[in-house]
Structure formats: structure tokens, C-alpha cells
Amino acid sequence: MTVTTRQQQAARLQAMGIQVWVSREVTEDTSDLETPAETARENVVAPPVLPSAEPEPPPVVSEARVENTGAGNTQVDTAWVDEEPPLPTDDFMPGLDISEMSSQPAPAIDISSLDWPELQVAVSSCTACELHKTRTQTVFGVGDHAAEWMIIGEAPGADEDQQGEPFVGRAGQLLNNMLKALGLQREQVFIANILKCRPPENRNPQPEEIVHCEAFLQRQVALVKPKVILAVGGVAAHNLLKVDTAVSKLRGQLHHYGETPLVVTYHPAYLLRKPSEKRKSWADLKFAAAVVRGEQS
């Protein structure tokens, strides 16, 4: 991207009231940048802001992201489906009270006309909700900007917050293996989350945070134009579909996010906790693949 184009984008964002901080390197030619996460990191110059040491009430910990801290799962293909299940648990991905969301304020800025570079800058400089105070960096999303598959999860965990990329750690490795089983590389899909900033202590996203962040994801979907959205986990499914139905009842059906077909499945972190559900998730992936091929409508 040329200096002039980036300056024009910065001027557009500043005209929209968005404060744009651009590092000295960004004024140089960065046209060889491949991923949104890389570009976003280039654009962020604010130093990491660590969580406050002040005592806070015990957080509600997200089941979806608490697993993203261990060693990698190196199995490939459908071997991820056949692992022995551990002790069963009745724990499930906690959902949100969707009924509270309709009264929340709209996103602070209109980003519906932004292209990828402007959108990345808007996300990296966003202070629309309190999460900007505790994030290390924003987690924009990664992958093919013209992908057929869009994978949407919940929110960054500790590893994602540090690395600036969604779905890393053990859950990310399992997601990679699930994609490989479909004949897809991670780079061939676009991966994003409902929230772009990490909730402290892996607590659940709050409704007001989701409402403020929603426009970014909507714009990403509009730009990618995927053939299918795979909503992984309850938080993603509930907020994309505006329902609070259990994932077990949402999966196996074709939903829509706007005009885009959407399939619900379990979050990889949940599958790490309950491998006996992997076969159901594999069925969901095959169902989504049929949607991509135009065999389901």
C-alpha cells in the first residue's frame, strides 16, 4: 500500500472521529503484509496495558478459552475424532442473556464502508468498550480475505492476546486438525472472534462489549463473503443468531447470518474437555462442507 493511500485512510478515519496511531514503519510500503494480524500489529504502537492489580470480584471463566494454554495437539486428519474420551462432564459453554442485548447502544462508529486496511486500523485503535484498557493488543482475525469458510469463535484468550492471533494454543491446534480433516489449511479460511479484545481472566464477554464490537465482525463477514460461517461454541452461535438455544439443539441445522449460511458446532476447547463429542463435531464439519459445495440450502 502506498504512503498516499494509507494517509488517505488515516484521514478518513480521523474524519470519522477515530484516533489513528500509526508507527513510523507503517508510513513505508507494507504491501507485502499477508495477514490482518500482522498488519494490525504493525499499526499498533501503544504499549501493552497490563490488568490492574486492584482486587476484583471472582470472574466467570470462559469454558471456551481456558484451555488455550497448554502443549499442542499434533495429530492430523480424522484422528482427532477418535481419541479416547476422558471422564464425562456436564459442564457446557455458558451462554449469554440475549434478552439484555436489544437495549444496548449501537457501535460508536459506522465502519460499513471500510476496506481491510482501514478496518484493521479502526480495530487496533478502538476504545469503544472497557476491554481496551486491559488488552495487550487487539486480535483482528487471520486468513484468506476471500475464504469460502469463515470460522467465528468467542473472544481472545491469554495466548491470543499475547500473539495477536485467534485460536492458538491447544484449541487452535485442534481447530487446525479439524480443518485438515476437511482438506483445508488454516490459511485457506478466515478465523475471527465475536470480540477483538481479551476479557480479563477469561471471563465471559459482556453484552455491552459484544454490541460495541459487533460492527467489526459484520464488516469482516461482508468483506470475506464466505460460503459458510462455522460458529464454534455457544457464545458465537448465540450472538450471531440472537438466540440462547443450546449448541446441542442448534447444530445439525442450516442457519443464516444475514444472507450467509451458518452452521453451529462445538468449540474446540469444549472438545478438548469432552472428546466424546468430536464425532458430532465431525458431522457438523461435513454438513458445512456440503453447504460450501451447494448441496445444502
Q: Which residues form the interface with ligand SF4 (CB under 6 A)?
A: 123, 126-129, 131-132, 138, 195-197, 209, 212-213
> Do residues 215 and 242 lie in contact, with contact meaning Cβ atoms separated by under 8 Å?
no
Shortest spacing between CB 206 and ligand SF4, in angstroms: 10
**Shorter beta-carbon distance to ligand SF4: residue 81 or 213:** 213
**Shorter beta-carbon distance to ligand SF4: residue 239 or 265:** 239
Residue with cell 470475506: 224
> Do residues 119 and 20 lie in contact, with contact meaning Cβ atoms separated by under 8 Å?
no
Instruction: Give the alpha-carbon dihedral of 66, 69, 74, 76, to 10 degrees.
Output: 30
**Shorter beta-carbon distance to ligand SF4: residue 132 or 180:** 132
Shortest spacing between CB 126 and ligand SF4, in angstroms: 3
Reduced to 3 states, what is the DSSP secondary structure of residue 256? strand
- CA–CA separation, 194 and 56 (whole Å): 24
- CA–CA separation, 48 and 135 (whole Å): 7
DSSP secondary structure string, 186-254?
Answer: GGGSEEEES-SSPPGGGBPPPHHHHHHHHHHHHHHHHHH--SEEEEESHHHHHHHHT----HHHHTTS-
Shortest spacing between CB 231 and ligand SF4, in angstroms: 18
Instruction: Read off the C-alpha cell for 188.
Output: 485457506
Shortest spacing between CB 164 and ligand SF4, in angstroms: 13
In the 8-state DSSP scheme, what is residue 31? T
**Shorter beta-carbon distance to ligand SF4: residue 182 or 191:** 191
**Shorter beta-carbon distance to ligand SF4: residue 63 or 214:** 214
Shortest spacing between CB 18 and ligand SF4, in angstroms: 11
Shortest spacing between CB 191 and ligand SF4, in angstroms: 16
